[in-house]
Amino acid sequence: MGLTMSQKILAAHAGLESVKAGQLIEAKLDMVLGNDITSPVAINVFNDGNASAVFDRTKIAMVMDHFTPNKDIKAAEQCKQVRQFADKYDIKNFFDVGQMGIEHSLLPEKGLVGPGTLCIGADSHTCTYGALGAFSTGVGSTDMAAGMISGKTWFKVPSAIKFNLINRPAPFISGKDIILHIIGKIGVDGALYRSMEFFGDGLQYLSIDDRLCIANMAIEAGAKNGIFPVDDITRAYIKDRFQGEPVEYTADEDAVYDEEYTIDLSALRPTVAFPHLPENARTVDEIGETEVRIDQAVIGSCTNGRISDLRAAAEVLKGKKVAKGVRCIIIPSTQTVYLQAMHEGLFDIFIEAGAVVSTPTCGPCLGGHMGILAKGERAISTTNRNFVGRMGHTESEVYLASPAVAAASAVTGYITDPARVCETI
C-alpha cells in the first residue's frame, strides 16, 4: 500500500520504511516553534522538569509576535521570560521587536523550514509550512517543552484527503478564496486529524503566498496538516533561502486517500466567511445587493500579510478613499515585507486612502491589540478565524475575506466584490 506525502515525511523522521494511518510513532524534529504567548508555558514545563539543556539551539525558534510590541504589563512579563530563556540557552532563532515578524510568515522567509522538514509549533497555524512540502503541525505548550528537551515527539499518523485543483483562477481569486471555498464545502471538521494534500494542474497558477495561505487554514477544517508537492515554484522560493537540505517527497500512485475532491479554480468567485465559523462561506454573488456594512477592515496576519497580499490591497485602494466611519488597518507580516511595501510606494497608497499601517504583529487577529472591536461592530478581515469574540467583544462580528475583498469593502463601507470597485469607483 502506497504512502501519502505526509506519511513519507513521518516515516523518514521515525526511521521507518513505512507507516500506516493510525499508527503511533516517535519522530525526530527539525524545528520547534513557540511565540510570546505559548513559549512561557513551555518554559515553565521545561523548568519544572528540571531540564538543563535544549536538544539543539539551532532547531528552536521563538518569535515575539502576538502581543508585541507589548500591549500591557502581562505581555511585557511574558516576553521578558522568553528573552531570558533564549539568552540562557543561546537560542539562535529568537526574534524580538525590530527583527521579528508574524511567526508563520517569518520562518519560511528566513529559510528555517522547507521541503521535507518536520516541524511542530505551539500555535495551531504551524500547518502553514506544508506550502513548502514540509510536514508541520500545531501542538500544545507541553509538547513544545518536550520537543525542546528531546528533539522528538509522538505522532498518530494521519490518513489523508486529496484535493485536485484544476484550471486557472479568474482575476481577484486568491489562495484565501480557494481555502474558504474548500472549508465551506467540507466544513470545519471535514478533515479532522487528517492531512489535506493538494495536487493538480491548477497549482501552477498558485504563488507560494497563495499556498502558504491555503496550508495556514487547513486547521480551520480540522486538519492535522496541509501539504503541497514541491515544484519549480517551491524550488525558486527556497533557492538561496532554505538553511537546510531540501528533501522532496511525492505521494505514491497507490497512496490511499479517505476522500477526493476536484476544485475548478476557474469557477470560483470572491468568497467571504460569515460569522461565526470559517465554514459559513458565501460568494460575493450570493451576498448580492445586501449591504453588509462594516466598521473595520484588517489586512494582514499570518494568513494574508505578505507582499502579494499588500499589493492586491493597494491595487484596489489606489486613488480611492476609505469610507467614512470605517477604520482600515494594514499590517505587513514581517520587517522585510514592511520595507518592500514601503519602497514600492504601497504605504503612500494606503495612507492617502485613509488607512493606517502597523508594525508587524498578530495584534487584532486574536483580540490582542491594534484593532479590537466594540459591542455590535463588524470587521472584514484577512485573518483566519471568526469565532465569537475572536477580535473583541462577544457581540461583535468578523467576516473573513481576501485582501482584495477587504480593501474593496473598506472603500464602500460594506462587503463588496473588488471587481466592482475597480471598475466603477
In this prediction, residue 154 carries a pLDDT of 95
Q: How many other C-beta atoms are found inside a 10 Å radius of the C-beta of residue 83?
A: 16
CA distance 272 to 279: 10
CA distance 413 to 312: 18
In this prediction, residue 86 carries a pLDDT of 97
CB contact at 8 A, 248 and 133: yes
Distance spanning both ends of the chain, measured CA to CA: 57
pLDDT digits over 112-149, tens only? 999 999 999 999 999 999 999 999 999 999 999 999 99
Distances (CA, A) of 276 to 191, 289, 418: 19, 21, 23
Q: Which residues does the chain have with pLDDT short of 50?
A: 424-425
Domains for the chain: give ranges and CATH numbers: 5-264 (3.30.499.10), 271-424 (3.30.499.10)
Query: What is the maximum alpha-carbon separation in the chain?
Result: 65
In this prediction, residue 288 carries a pLDDT of 80
DSSP structure class, residue 382: S
Distances (CA, A) of 190 to 161, 332, 337, 370: 10, 31, 33, 32
pLDDT digits over 272-290, tens only? 999 999 999 999 999 987 8
Q: In what order do the strands lie in the sheet with 259-264?
A: 225-227, 194-199, 159-166, 259-264
In degrees, rounded to 5, the angle at the alpha carbon of residue 386 between the alpha carbons of residues 385 and 391 is: 95
DSSP per position, 92-159:
TEEE-TTT-B-HHHHHHHHTSS-TT-EEEESSGGGGGGGGGT-EEEE--HHHHHHHHHHSEEEEEPPE
Grid cell digits, residue 330 = 494594514
Peptide bond preceding 69 in cis form (omega within 30 of 0): yes
CB contact at 8 A, 190 and 221: yes
Grid cell digits, residue 38 = 505559548
Grid cell digits, residue 198 = 493538494
Residue type, 108: P
CB contact at 8 A, 346 and 332: no
Q: How many other C-beta atoms are found inside a 10 Å radius of the C-beta of residue 26?
A: 12
Strands 327-330 and 356-357: parallel
Taken in order 149, 30, 305, 289, is the CA torsion positive or negative?
Answer: negative
Count CA atoms closer than 13 A to 184's CA, side-chain side. 21
CA distance 283 to 118: 35
In this prediction, residue 425 carries a pLDDT of 43
Buried b (16+ CB within 10 A) or exposed e, 262-281: ebebeebbbbbbbeebbbbb
What SS3 state is found at 216?
helix
Q: Which residue has the cell 528555517?
A: 112
Task: Round the CA-based radius of gyration of the chain to a whole number and report it.
Answer: 21
Buried b (16+ CB within 10 A) or exposed e, 56-75: eeebbbbbbbbbbbbbeeeb
> Which among 55, 59, 226, 60 has a CA at the least distance from the CA of 133?
226
CB contact at 8 A, 58 and 52: no
DSSP per position, 219-245:
GGGT-SEEE----HHHHHHHTTT--S-
